[in-house]
Structure 1
Amino acid sequence: MDYIAGELEFIWVNDGYIITDRSQLDRLRREQNFQMSGEVDDETAVSIGKFAGANIIVTGRVDGEGNLQRLRLRALDTQTAQVVGVASERL
């Protein structure tokens, strides 16, 4: 998963996006005393992104098993929580 995150960061930074890495989000989450366990849901991700000053936040997960795994990404607008983009790619 670190490899995928690194590749996405490389692509997006080269396309001109400003990336906030996970360690910054973790620090922000602690500061706001978010009580989360397991996956970050869309509502929490939007709240974290808004607090960090982001316009868009991308969440992702890997679904499936073995040769049937897929990476699924969602781009969420932090002002409206609207899904503004999705992607699904076989791993």
Structure 2
Amino acid sequence: MARLTTFSKLLIIVTVIAVGVSFIRFLFSDSKEVSDYKNTYEYTNVIHDIGLNVSEKISSAGVESVLIADMTNLEGEKKNLGRYLTEEISAEIIDVRKGISLLDRSQLNKLIKEQELNAAGLLDQETIAGLGEIIGTEVIITGKYEVIGDKVKLWLRAIDVEKGKAFFIEDFMMLLNEDLQSIYDSDNSWWN
């Protein structure tokens, strides 16, 4: 009978432990497709998670038409970073859930400009719901963001147009990657 060397025994023990740890992680992990963005905060993971979470909640509510308003910073200003994040999230929601009809937000922006609601600070949940009825959407998703060090914090709110109330509010954190940093820097340059 062949005798195992100390190195072979150690190698077998390490392998058994690694397989055991992987199995335990598998047992206790959530079976959803959501990536572990809470640990990595990687931009692409977080955008994908937003698409999954939002589309899942919208679909479970039976919603078919959605409008995503341009995100603003916490001061309520529309900046390029907010527009970029809005486009990315819109594309991801459509990619994840093909059955959702995403309406063109230029219609909402046109109504807001015509009514000068944004400048007057009158754009609240009830006003958004009324505009949503005019445009013909069931849900309007609004969002705010704030850059905190090397991360971006996002808050998303889905407003049921018929009821005029938010039916979900989510927050996410992601790393400020080079692309986002460049857009953020251009928004905050002295000539803007």
TM-score range, shorter chain: 0.7 to 0.9
Deviation at 1:27, TM superposition (A): 2.1
Q: How many Å separate the matches in 2 of 1:44 and 1:66?
A: 33
Q: How many Å separate the matches in 2 of 1:29 and 1:57?
A: 14
CA RMSD of superposed structures (Å): 2.3
Q: 1:30 to 1:8 in 2, by over 3 A?
A: same
Aligned to 1:77: 160
Does the 8 A contact of 1:70 with 1:89 survive in 2? yes
Report the structure, 1 or 2, having the larger helix content: 2
The gaps in structure 2 that reach 5 residues or longer are: 1-81, 175-192
Comparing both chains, which one has the higher relative contact order based on Cα–Cα distances under 8 Å and sequence gaps of 6 or more?
A: 2
Structure 1 counterpart SS, 2:159 = strand
Structure 1 counterpart of 2:91, from 10, 24, 28? 10
Does the 8 A contact of 1:72 with 1:87 survive in 2? yes
Counterpart of 2:93, as a letter, is W
Structure 2 counterpart SS, 1:36 = helix
Structure 2 counterpart of 1:61, from 144, 147, 172? 144
Aligned to 1:87: 170
Structure 2 counterpart of 1:35, from 117, 124, 143? 117
- The percentage of aligned residue pairs carrying the same residue is 28
Deviation at 1:56, TM superposition (A): 0.7
Aligned to 1:20: 103
Q: 1:82 to 1:29 in 2, by over 3 A?
A: same
- After TM superposition, the score normalised by the length of structure 1 is 0.77
Q: 1:3 to 1:53 in 2, by over 3 A?
A: same
Greater Rg, structure 1 or structure 2?
2
The gaps in structure 1 that reach 5 residues or longer are: none
Does the 8 A contact of 1:71 with 1:89 survive in 2? yes
Q: 1:58 to 1:3 in 2, by over 3 A?
A: same
